[in-house]
Amino acid sequence: VKLIQQIHQRRMDLILAEDDPVPNNEKSVQWMISQLRQKEEEFLQLFLGKTVTQTFECSFVYTPFAGKNQPAEIFRFSPLRGISAKNDPSALPVYITLESTNTITTLRDYQSLFTSFTAPAILYRVPEVAGVSVIWNNRILIRSRLPIYQIGALVPWMPVE
């Protein structure tokens, strides 16, 4: 603490020109003041602590199931620790929800006509457009409409001979 006070006093003396002769060059004085301020801040951090922030980019894979519209937990997030383990009590779950828009109901009707395929066919899944939301702490972080193949309709494509 005494060292911090001495640095602060030296800076004030330099500003008020009460101590040693001050250089005539204004840039030199500004540089000396900034160096003293930086030293003072470094010593203050020893008492106050230091906050370090890091940014990470993570990818998560979620495979939806047809007919299941409940929110699914994709990971847990803690404001202090970031992405956390499932057993971290300070972390809150981050959920993903899918809401089908039923844009392919006509294809589903077509799909029901084909209970068994007798001719050779290639099966193709037409994606369903769904509203996708990511929710944390009862706040919607992102909401988007995306094509989701897993909940789409399976239709045959029969090549012409």
98-110 pLDDT, tens digit each: 998 888 877 766 6
C-alpha 58/C-alpha 154 separation (Å) is 32
Query: Are the beta carbons of 72 and 62 closer than 8 angstroms?
Result: yes
> Domain map of the chain by residue range?
2-48, 72-157
114-146 pLDDT, tens digit each: 666 566 677 888 888 999 999 999 999 999 999
Could you list the pLDDT tens digit for every one of the 161 residues in the chain? 787 778 777 777 776 666 566 666 778 778 887 888 888 888 788 777 777 788 889 898 988 876 677 899 999 999 888 899 888 888 999 999 999 888 887 776 666 666 665 666 778 888 889 999 999 999 999 999 999 988 888 877 766 65
- The angle formed by the CA atoms of residues 95, 100 and 102, to the nearest 5 degrees, is 175
Residue holding tokens 């370090």? 52
Q: Computed from CA positions of residues 16, 19, 23, 29, in that sequence, does the dihedral angle turn out positive or negative?
A: negative
Nearest residue to 135 via CA among 76, 89, 82, 56: 76
Length of the chain: 161
**Burial of residue 88 (number of CB atoms within 10 Å: 0-12, 13-18, 19+):** middle
